[in-house]
Chains A and B, each alone.
Chain A
């Protein structure tokens, strides 16, 4: 089926990213079921959900890597950065060559592309590794390069698909710090992750996706509140995914999932 995603420039809205009624089907199965999403500039949004919930598909439809079967996304893909789960880089090229190549493909004008590559190199603190080939770098450094490529063209929002997979704890911390710095600079960040506790520490807002629908949207504290008397985050997540109502926040959660939309919230970087 042909893609019917509508895309309009970000300048026409106040959101860094806005999606309406996103639908994606595969082999007769609904992967995304009318998903609405708004992300404010500088906001850090974590998308949680069990395996197969549709997290990666949602990110790839937002990034225009996959076509949608319905719905609209604002802005266009050229204003959205995408960092895939696997770094997806050229192993035999150096850090600098990878950045220059993708900058050249994404940004018109040789000079502009070269400047964008330099900025990304500096932001991701890759200057010292610029001349090294990717196949000689650790997973953490490769993920940094991937993030730097996602930043080319100064996107309004960067979409990161489980970037911490296969990283050791110090590398994860470094990557979170980089994400925090990015949001502080005003770029919205949407990140899919299985790391509930890290998401709680670093995200301004979390949504939980299950069966192609948003079943929870709120702050990390709202989610924790669903974890019973001990406010257990893991239990809260299991309850939300399982559709089990609980305690005082059950009503609020029910409201979020029934509308399958999220309310954008301006962030001041607090809670990072």
Chain B
């Protein structure tokens, strides 16, 4: 009976061109809208700069050239990051928790000192460690800020490294060729290894025999030193990595990407609307047309009818969900690598939503009322599932948790989220199957009781 009714419903749907067009066009519209949103540049996040350097201790002088660590904040700000100055790390953490800012960069008070030590030790002692703070209570937070700060930091670090190399190679050039450098405000003339080699060689030619050997050795050393210092530019460039960065997440990470979460929500919403309205409409429509009484004659098949309706609506919704995901993948908002997981995820999600829709159809009996109820209920069902229970607290949080567990949106969203990330989520899949069984069983009972 289920197979015959399923084939009939799919045939009827196929012959409803307006409905079919809606089912195809709707997910594609969502895919285009969401795809464009996810692939466009985001709004610049707000990032705090916590500069703990002493007021006059933020500079490092190498060979008379000044490098400013505090200038890092200028490098980080601008373009894709909005920056503001915050006095302490604790204040920055509090602001991230409150959602006032999206992240922070902490420059420790010993940053200049550590950079100086690192440079004077030739890289033996470690450079300063900067800290990036970001909010990560869910996949909507964190990822973007982290990557933006990291990329800006890399730019700043490259600029600092280039400056260090430039200063150091200039100093080495003076050592090789001769010139002047400023030390403690005094201009000092440096002979240079090249001139020293010539002087020593001349001296060696006219020197007494007992001193000639020593002077020739000194000239040879000067020559060797000059030739080998030619290589030091490359060595300096390759080892220059003056900064170390530590990341600290404020809040608990979920481990899913921002786009994965958004794609999961969009797919769940699409499945929910199509499956619930179809499920509700198919069953209530059957009653309205009078055909339900024919099917139920003799008290047969109420549960089979409810199941067939859920299967028909669920499969059509799954098709719609697959179209949405394919559209998003085509636009580059998600990866095709999750393709093998899409089908079970959209099928299970679609079936559970369809079961819920069929239940609405059994309760409300009138096709238009049932369809309208499915649309009106979709918004609160999604909202309930998307509110983090900890953000409410108390008994309301428990109630919200229970309601969310009974309704299919949360597990469907989690399953789709996992599918997009190419992960299986057996728990959510099982929960959706249990919900489908529960909804169709109750719908079957209501249909049987209401046959009179």
- Specify which chain B residues have a CB less than 8 angstroms from the CB of A91 in the assembled complex: 289
The 8 closest A-B pairs by CB, nearest first: A88-B290, A77-B298, A92-B15, A64-B298, A92-B12, A104-B4, A86-B290, A66-B452
Q: How far is the CA of A270 from the CA of B20 in the complex (A)?
A: 54
Are B4 and A105 in contact, with the CB atoms below 8 A?
yes
Q: Answer whether residue B40 sits at the interface, using C-beta atoms and an 8 A cutoff.
A: no
- A197 → chain B, closest Cβ, in Å? 28
Q: Answer whether residue B16 sits at the interface, using C-beta atoms and an 8 A cutoff.
A: yes
Q: Answer whether residue A67 sits at the interface, using C-beta atoms and an 8 A cutoff.
A: yes
Q: Answer whether residue B294 sits at the interface, using C-beta atoms and an 8 A cutoff.
A: yes
- B291 → chain A, closest Cβ, in Å? 5
User: Which of B4, B289, B297, B299 gathers the greatest number of chain A CB atoms within 10 Å?
Assistant: B297
Q: How far is the CA of A104 from the CA of B451 in the complex (A)?
A: 21
Q: How far is the CA of A102 from the CA of B294 in the complex (A)?
A: 9
Q: Answer whether residue B295 sits at the interface, using C-beta atoms and an 8 A cutoff.
A: yes
- Interface size (A, Cβ < 8 Å)? 27
Q: How far is the CA of A88 from the CA of B21 in the complex (A)?
A: 27
Which of A78, A87, A102 is within 8 Å of B298, CB to CB? Answer: A78
Q: Answer whether residue A54 sits at the interface, using C-beta atoms and an 8 A cutoff.
A: no
Are B299 and A84 in contact, with the CB atoms below 8 A?
no
Q: How far is the CA of A63 from the CA of B297 in the complex (A)?
A: 7
Q: Answer whether residue A82 sits at the interface, using C-beta atoms and an 8 A cutoff.
A: yes
* Contact A88:B289 (CB < 8 A) given known A67-B452, A97-B11: yes
Q: Answer whether residue A65 sits at the interface, using C-beta atoms and an 8 A cutoff.
A: yes
- Specify which chain A residues have a CB less than 8 angstroms from the CB of B15 in the assembled complex: 92-93, 133
Q: How far is the CA of A173 from the CA of B340 in the complex (A)?
A: 61
Q: How far is the CA of A87 from the CA of B11 in the complex (A)?
A: 20
| Chain A residue nearest in CB terms to B4 | A104
| Chain A residue nearest in CB terms to B289 | A88
Are A82 and B452 in contact, with the CB atoms below 8 A?
no
Q: How far is the CA of A3 from the CA of B12 in the complex (A)?
A: 34
Task: Mark interface residues in A151-167 (1 if CB within 8 Å of B CB, else 0).
Answer: 00000000000000000
Are A84 and B293 in contact, with the CB atoms below 8 A?
yes
- B366 → chain A, closest Cβ, in Å? 16
Q: Answer whether residue A101 sits at the interface, using C-beta atoms and an 8 A cutoff.
A: yes
- Specify which chain B residues have a CB less than 8 angstroms from the CB of A97 in the assembled complex: 8, 11
Q: How far is the CA of A215 from the CA of B15 in the complex (A)?
A: 49
| Chain A residue nearest in CB terms to B11 | A93
* Contact A101:B4 (CB < 8 A) given known A66-B452, A82-B297: yes
| Chain A residue nearest in CB terms to B14 | A92
- Specify which chain B residues have a CB less than 8 angstroms from the CB of A86 in the assembled complex: 290
Q: Answer whether residue B231 sits at the interface, using C-beta atoms and an 8 A cutoff.
A: no
Q: How far is the CA of A88 from the CA of B296 in the complex (A)?
A: 13
Are A84 and B294 in contact, with the CB atoms below 8 A?
yes
- A89 → chain B, closest Cβ, in Å? 7
- A176 → chain B, closest Cβ, in Å? 23
A interface with B by C-beta (< 8 Å): 3, 26, 63-67, 76-78, 82, 84, 86-93, 97, 101-102, 104-105, 133, 149
Are B291 and A88 in contact, with the CB atoms below 8 A?
yes
- Specify which chain A residues have a CB less than 8 angstroms from the CB of B289 in the assembled complex: 88-91
- Specify which chain A residues have a CB less than 8 angstroms from the CB of B12 in the assembled complex: 90, 92-93
- Specify which chain A residues have a CB less than 8 angstroms from the CB of B298 in the assembled complex: 64, 76-78
- Specify which chain B residues have a CB less than 8 angstroms from the CB of A149 in the assembled complex: 294
* Contact A84:B295 (CB < 8 A) given known A90-B8, A101-B4: no
Task: Mark interface residues in B440-452 (1 if CB within 8 Å of A CB, else 0).
Answer: 0000000000011
* Contact A65:B295 (CB < 8 A) given known A90-B12, A93-B12, A104-B4: no
Task: Mark interface residues in B1-35 (1 if CB within 8 Å of A CB, else 0).
Answer: 10011001001100110000000000000000000
In the complex, chain B residues 267-307 whose Cβ is within 8 Å of any chain A Cβ: 289-291, 293-299, 301
Interface SS of chain A: helix, strand, loop or mixed?
loop
- Specify which chain A residues have a CB less than 8 angstroms from the CB of B5 in the assembled complex: 105
Q: How far is the CA of A101 from the CA of B2 in the complex (A)?
A: 11
Could you pull out 21 A-B pairs where Cβ atoms are within 8 angstroms? A26-B452, A63-B297, A64-B297, A65-B297, A66-B451, A66-B452, A67-B299, A77-B297, A86-B290, A88-B290, A88-B291, A90-B291, A92-B11, A93-B8, A93-B12, A93-B15, A97-B8, A101-B4, A104-B4, A105-B1, A133-B15
- Specify which chain A residues have a CB less than 8 angstroms from the CB of B294 in the assembled complex: 82, 84, 88, 102, 149
- B227 → chain A, closest Cβ, in Å? 91
In the complex, chain B residues 196-249 whose Cβ is within 8 Å of any chain A Cβ: none
| Chain A residue nearest in CB terms to B294 | A88
| Chain A residue nearest in CB terms to B15 | A92
| Chain A residue nearest in CB terms to B296 | A65
- Specify which chain A residues have a CB less than 8 angstroms from the CB of B301 in the assembled complex: 105
- Specify which chain B residues have a CB less than 8 angstroms from the CB of A65 in the assembled complex: 293, 296-297, 451
- A212 → chain B, closest Cβ, in Å? 16
Are B291 and A89 in contact, with the CB atoms below 8 A?
yes
| Chain B residue nearest in CB terms to A76 | B298
- A190 → chain B, closest Cβ, in Å? 16
| Chain B residue nearest in CB terms to A66 | B452
Q: How far is the CA of A82 from the CA of B4 in the complex (A)?
A: 20
Q: How far is the CA of A82 from the CA of B297 in the complex (A)?
A: 9
- B5 → chain A, closest Cβ, in Å? 8
- Specify which chain B residues have a CB less than 8 angstroms from the CB of A3 in the assembled complex: 299
Not counting A84-B290, A88-B291, A92-B16, a sample of 16 additional A-B residue pairs whose C-beta atoms are within 8 angstroms of each other reads A3-B299, A26-B452, A65-B293, A65-B296, A66-B451, A67-B452, A78-B298, A84-B293, A89-B289, A90-B8, A91-B289, A92-B12, A93-B11, A93-B12, A102-B294, A149-B294
